[in-house]
Amino acid sequence: MTKKKAKIVEEDGCQVRMIHLDRVKRARDEAIPEKEMRRLALIFKALSDPTRLQITLALQGGEMCVCDLAAMLNISESAVSHQLRHLRDLALVKTRRDGQMLYYSLDDDHVADLVKIGLNHVRE
């Protein structure tokens, strides 16, 4: 049995406890770039809110306009618009204008994939 004790390491002027130097090192080496990591977190965050998740699920069935989404979700059109802007900023949805109406649809195949895999998980 390996009985290890934490090693105190000086790092960035701070005392850091570390037990498996090799694992910490490996994890740091394998870490993805900061930028990708933040972006990835934002994608997940987009799907982490019930309203946005429901919007995403609804749009998998085809494009919809703001007021239909609001009616379906039973919240104000303003709230829907705010959330759609959020999704649009992340390029997860796109719009098509037809007269006075804006139709929103999914702009990313991976988003649908993420939701499907997530659903499999939840349903097990």
Partner DNA sequence: TGAGAATCTGAACATATACTCAAATATACG
Partner DNA sequence: CGTATATTTGAGTATATGTTCAGATTCTCA
Of 22-61, binders to a copy of itself (CB under 8 A) are: 23-24, 26-28, 30-32, 36-45, 47-50, 53-54, 57-58, 61
Q: Which long-range contacts (CB under 8 A, 24 or more apart) does 111-117 make?
A: 111/43, 111/47, 111/56, 112/56, 112/60, 114/43, 114/47, 115/47, 115/53, 115/56, 115/57, 115/60
Contact status: 84 vs DNA (CB under 7 A): yes
33, two tokens: 């770039």
Strands (DSSP E) found in 34-117:
64-65, 93-98, 101-106
70, two tokens: 């609001």
Contact status: 86 vs DNA (CB under 7 A): yes
Q: How far is the CB of 113 from a copy of itself (least distance, A)?
A: 5
Q: Of the two residues 45 and 116, which places its CB atom closer to DNA in the complex?
A: 45
Which of 85, 96, 110, 116 is the binder for DNA (CB under 7 A)?
A: 85
> Which positions lie near DNA, rule CB under 7 A?
3-6, 17, 19, 45, 48-52, 65-67, 75-86, 95, 97, 99-102
